[in-house]
Chain A
Amino acid sequence: MKKASILMIIGPLFLLGLYVFPLWNIMLGAPQYPDPLGLNIHINGLQGVNEFDIQNIDGLNHYIGMHTLPKVEDMWEFGTFPIIIGIMVGLGVLIGILGFLGKLSYKWFLGWFALMSLMGILGMYDFNEWLVDYGTNLDPNAIMKLTNPDGTPMTYKPPLLGHVKMLNFDVTSLPATGAWLMFLGMMLTLAAGYFGWKSKKIKT
């Protein structure tokens, strides 16, 4: 149980990476952009991969009527997510310490993992909602109003995960360093739960 508790203390700390590294990354390459434009999604706001990428993405997107990318103050998520992550890290470490001191059982470890997974799924859902809005809520006076072959208006939702060809752009959306660290941390807490359960079984 001591080993499991140590893993439970360490695991949530990996989430601190989200304060430094981006959670998600969307790259936009095109014939005119051999060095692709890129968007890093951090829990506290959006950043260009290169300094002026956001300005340049917005500049291109205005042709097809997309709104400009949200600033920190435009989305409640950028204020709330850092707090939620902070609470979850604190809570996880606390559970680990209490487990180490024998005050809490391994079930709490699994409980933290389940809660974090739920939050992650909700976060992804929310992110996808934003992508849908960003890609479909278009300015009716857009310079270029394109239609699909079936006559419906063309929309530009970037993929949540993977690659999509959108007009002249190749759009690739993938988890970034912050997400991988979070994933690793969560796996450690899952392992903590597993080792906790095993040590319990040996004892009984």
Chain B
Amino acid sequence: MKVKHHLILTLGAAFMLASCGQQNQSSNGALSSSAAEKVYVAPGEQDEFYAFLSGGYSGNLTVYGLPSGRMFKEIPVFSQFPTSGYGYSEETIPMLNTSHGFVPWDDLHHPDISQTNGELDGRWIFVNGNNTPRIARVDLSTFETAEIIEVPNSAGNHSSSFITENTEYVVAGTRFAVPVPQRDMSISEYKGNFKGALTFISVDPEHGHMAIKFQLLMPGFNYDLSHPGRGKSHGWFFFTTYNTEEANTLLEVNASQNDKDFIAAINWKKIEEYVNNGGGTKMPANYAHNVYDEHSHTGTTTMKDEVLTVDPTKVPGAVFFLPTPKSPHGCDVDPTGQYIIGNGKLSADLTVHSFDKMIAAIEGEKFDGEAYGIPILKFEDVLAGQVKSGGLGPLHTEFDGKGNAYTTFFISSEVVKWQLGTWEVIDRKPTYYSVGHLMIPGGNSRKPFGKYVVAMNKITKDRYLPTGPEMEHSAQIYDISGDKMELIYDFPTHGEPHYAAGCPAELLAPRSQKIYRLDENRHPYAVTTADGSKVVRDGNEVHVYMSTIRSHFTPDNIEGIKVGDKVYFHITNHEQDFDVPHGFSILGQNTSELLIMPGQTKTSVWEPKQVGVWPFYCTDFCSALHQEMQGYVRVSPANSNVELKWSLGE
């Protein structure tokens, strides 16, 4: 097996070399000038699409424009972000609370934009934290993280965060099988004892608030990726599995023994009905639910102590296994909902299952045995076709809405375009290098916008000027409006994008918020009037109610602070003008700066350790007098009697 593996990689390398040669021949002359025209967004012009690229191990989500490849914003989600103070400010620390305490980082994987009737509606984007399992909801009018829910009984939250076609649920599947509930037991007793939890989190249609509806406790396989059924298959969810061998060590060999693993088909509507009628078992659990309120500008953590679990064998007709070759990775459903694609990552071929055939096989009860009480359908009965791609290592597939599918091949480093139904390969283009995911705006919905595909690569090597051993990953944009794909641009991405989601600019741009309204600010420590500033001592805690407007802090002189005090700077930005944030930092601050948007209040804690007169200043170049936007705090010895006072312009 190991020998075979090496052979594949060598073959892959050979493919790469061949691809490079082709590229060099075609990368100059008229062709490149027309590519330049296609990606050139002139100064002052705006892009046609938004693209949200997962930041992978950066823990955050990045926003790009297509076709320009320009990065607009990094949205902090699972990682502390000193640029804005996310995860450092008192208001945002709760967003990173978990049952394991404050977790300042995660590995953000799969963005998915909310949908209505299977089409993108642009209200929210959901992302998953892979390491300490969590799902986050980012608001697409503020482009800020609005909510994070921890997923109990899960480990390596990888087959997540995909939504059903009316955003009824955001679904989170476990990659690792683990003891459920967690307990002290021998690792070698994994087989038959560990479970794989697939969690269905309901989304409130009005506010987007998330709550765990139920967890399906599946056999202890590894649930790799998932996608919802849509159209005719709405009501179903499909998960790829690997390690159906249930190996607990040296998985690269031991989890690659079975010729076929499974795609698990889950009829979630049936299970929803079952739990709505009182089915399922409540299990004690401990997980955090963190909600950010846009008006109090504050996140709060609520610990939950119970989760509803469902044993799949108790709901007949709800769960089936579709045999799928070679440890399938991506699990993709075409825009009509008819085809379920298993990207068998250790093979050259793609397996396409037919939803209609699956239903017929289920109705005909044509089973090929069972696994832990779950019926296995016959491979031949559900197979729609196989794509003989000629590539190696298929990972992910997206759709253009014109009957074509585009699959990434990691090992042979290419994107392959093929036709749904005929399974014929139409075109193939190299990527640079070793592509993981790809994204067509709306490519995971009933209505894709099939103009560009973005290929996100794992290996950069020589694509850009070298920056030492560590480099950003590279991405390529291909024009897919014609029969043949055309490589038109190449740009570095931040972190490691695992999947992305895109949508037309007009869906979001008009709704993008410009300011927060000061008259809607309900932060308990906000100063909403010019003369409302004050400093209040409560034991050794001092609360500074401070406001900012171009170009001063109110107050800017504070005396009566003592060593050992815990000073809370609650800063409200009084600007109501688009793009006029103010910053705040003070010498010796043990956290990050704050960046406060117009109308917003943020809090930084400062614990002065040395006597002296310490300066603070605005960190955002806010105006022509930004440099004058500064002040002093006098810190006296712990036992001194200096009176607490504050002023501006005296």
Interface residues of B in 185-228 (CB under 8 A from A): none
Bound CA span A55–B518, Å: 12
Known A52-B576, A52-B577; contact A59-B625, beta-carbon cutoff 8 A: no
Closest chain B residue to A56 by CB distance?
Answer: B577
* B291 close to A (CB within 8 Å): no
* A202 close to B (CB within 8 Å): no
* B30 close to A (CB within 8 Å): no
Bound CA span A143–B627, Å: 13
Tell me the minimal C-beta distance from B483 to chain A in angstroms. Answer: 40
* B566 close to A (CB within 8 Å): no
Residues from chain B with Cβ under 8 Å of A52 in the complex: 515, 576-577
Known A52-B577, A55-B576; contact A63-B625, beta-carbon cutoff 8 A: yes
Residues from chain B with Cβ under 8 Å of A51 in the complex: 576
B 562-589 to A, binary, CB cutoff 8 A, 1 in contact else 0: 0000000000000111100000000000
Interface residues of A in 136-158 (CB under 8 A from B): 143-144
Closest chain A residue to B628 by CB distance?
Answer: A143
Interface contact B549-A59, CB-CB below 8 Å: yes
Interface residues of A in 30-87 (CB under 8 A from B): 35, 51-52, 55-56, 59, 63
Residues from chain A with Cβ under 8 Å of B625 in the complex: 63, 143
* B1 close to A (CB within 8 Å): no
Tell me the minimal C-beta distance from B138 to chain A in angstroms. Answer: 26
Closest chain B residue to A60 by CB distance?
Answer: B550
Residues from chain B with Cβ under 8 Å of A63 in the complex: 624-625
Tell me the minimal C-beta distance from A56 to chain B in angstroms. Answer: 5
B 73-102 to A, binary, CB cutoff 8 A, 1 in contact else 0: 000000000000000000000000000000
Residues from chain B with Cβ under 8 Å of A143 in the complex: 625
Interface contact B624-A56, CB-CB below 8 Å: no
Bound CA span A143–B578, Å: 23
Q: Which of B550, B576, B577, B578 has the most CB of A within 10 A?
A: B577
Interface residues of A in 171-185 (CB under 8 A from B): none
Closest chain B residue to A168 by CB distance?
Answer: B624
Bound CA span A52–B575, Å: 9
Closest chain B residue to A32 by CB distance?
Answer: B579
Interface residues of B in 482-500 (CB under 8 A from A): none
Bound CA span A63–B576, Å: 17
Tell me the minimal C-beta distance from B216 to chain A in angstroms. Answer: 49
Bound CA span A144–B624, Å: 10
Tell me the minimal C-beta distance from A26 to chain B in angstroms. Answer: 18
Closest chain B residue to A53 by CB distance?
Answer: B577
Bound CA span A59–B624, Å: 13
Bound CA span A52–B577, Å: 7
Q: How many residues of B contact A (CB 8 A)?
A: 9
Residues from chain A with Cβ under 8 Å of B550 in the complex: 59
Tell me the minimal C-beta distance from A58 to chain B in angstroms. Answer: 11
Residues from chain A with Cβ under 8 Å of B578 in the complex: 35
Q: Which of A55, A56, A59 has the most CB of B within 10 A?
A: A59
B 525-559 to A, binary, CB cutoff 8 A, 1 in contact else 0: 00000000000000000000000011000000000
Q: How many residues of A contact B (CB 8 A)?
A: 9
Bound CA span A203–B431, Å: 93
Residues from chain B with Cβ under 8 Å of A59 in the complex: 549-550, 575, 577
Tell me the minimal C-beta distance from B303 to chain A in angstroms. Answer: 40
Closest chain A residue to B598 by CB distance?
Answer: A52
Closest chain B residue to A59 by CB distance?
Answer: B550
Bound CA span A53–B515, Å: 13
Residues from chain A with Cβ under 8 Å of B576 in the complex: 51-52, 55-56
B 46-66 to A, binary, CB cutoff 8 A, 1 in contact else 0: 000000000000000000000
Residues from chain A with Cβ under 8 Å of B624 in the complex: 63, 144
Tell me the minimal C-beta distance from B1 to chain A in angstroms. Answer: 62
Q: Which of A51, A55, A144 has the most CB of B within 10 A?
A: A55
Tell me the minimal C-beta distance from B613 to chain A in angstroms. Answer: 25
A 109-148 to B, binary, CB cutoff 8 A, 1 in contact else 0: 0000000000000000000000000000000000110000
Residues from chain B with Cβ under 8 Å of A56 in the complex: 576-577
B 606-645 to A, binary, CB cutoff 8 A, 1 in contact else 0: 0000000000000000001100000000000000000000
Closest chain A residue to B599 by CB distance?
Answer: A52
Tell me the minimal C-beta distance from A63 to chain B in angstroms. Answer: 7
Bound CA span A115–B550, Å: 47
B 495-525 to A, binary, CB cutoff 8 A, 1 in contact else 0: 0000000000000000000010000000000
Closest chain B residue to A143 by CB distance?
Answer: B625
Closest chain A residue to B625 by CB distance?
Answer: A143
Closest chain A residue to B623 by CB distance?
Answer: A63
Closest chain B residue to A52 by CB distance?
Answer: B576
Bound CA span A170–B575, Å: 22
Interface residues of A in 1-45 (CB under 8 A from B): 35
Tell me the minimal C-beta distance from A107 to chain B in angstroms. Answer: 54
Bound CA span A144–B550, Å: 14
Bound CA span A56–B576, Å: 7
Closest chain B residue to A51 by CB distance?
Answer: B576
Bound CA span A35–B624, Å: 20
Tell me the minimal C-beta distance from B574 to chain A in angstroms. Answer: 9
Bound CA span A63–B552, Å: 12
Closest chain A residue to B550 by CB distance?
Answer: A59
Tell me the minimal C-beta distance from B45 to chain A in angstroms. Answer: 13
Bound CA span A56–B549, Å: 11
Tell me the minimal C-beta distance from B211 to chain A in angstroms. Answer: 36
Tell me the minimal C-beta distance from A94 to chain B in angstroms. Answer: 45
Interface residues of B in 409-425 (CB under 8 A from A): none
Tell me the minimal C-beta distance from A195 to chain B in angstroms. Answer: 50
Residues from chain A with Cβ under 8 Å of B515 in the complex: 52
B 242-262 to A, binary, CB cutoff 8 A, 1 in contact else 0: 000000000000000000000
Bound CA span A63–B624, Å: 9
Tell me the minimal C-beta distance from A104 to chain B in angstroms. Answer: 53
Bound CA span A174–B540, Å: 59
Tell me the minimal C-beta distance from A144 to chain B in angstroms. Answer: 8
Bound CA span A63–B515, Å: 23
Bound CA span A51–B624, Å: 24
Bound CA span A35–B577, Å: 11
Tell me the minimal C-beta distance from B509 to chain A in angstroms. Answer: 14
Bound CA span A56–B624, Å: 15
Residues from chain A with Cβ under 8 Å of B577 in the complex: 52, 55-56, 59
Tell me the minimal C-beta distance from B420 to chain A in angstroms. Answer: 45
Tell me the minimal C-beta distance from A49 to chain B in angstroms. Answer: 14
Tell me the minimal C-beta distance from A52 to chain B in angstroms. Answer: 4
Closest chain A residue to B549 by CB distance?
Answer: A59
Bound CA span A52–B549, Å: 14
Bound CA span A149–B608, Å: 51
B 8-26 to A, binary, CB cutoff 8 A, 1 in contact else 0: 0000000000000000000
Residues from chain A with Cβ under 8 Å of B575 in the complex: 59
Bound CA span A64–B549, Å: 16
Bound CA span A51–B517, Å: 11
17 A–B contacts, CB within 8 A, in A order = A35-B578, A51-B576, A52-B515, A52-B576, A52-B577, A55-B576, A55-B577, A56-B576, A56-B577, A59-B549, A59-B550, A59-B575, A59-B577, A63-B624, A63-B625, A143-B625, A144-B624
4 nearest CB pairs, A to B: A52-B576, A56-B577, A55-B576, A59-B550
Chain A residues close to B by CB (< 8 Å): 35, 51-52, 55-56, 59, 63, 143-144
Besides A52-B515, A52-B577, A59-B549, 12 new A-B residue pairs in contact (Cβ under 8 A), listed by A number? A51-B576, A55-B576, A55-B577, A56-B576, A56-B577, A59-B550, A59-B575, A59-B577, A63-B624, A63-B625, A143-B625, A144-B624
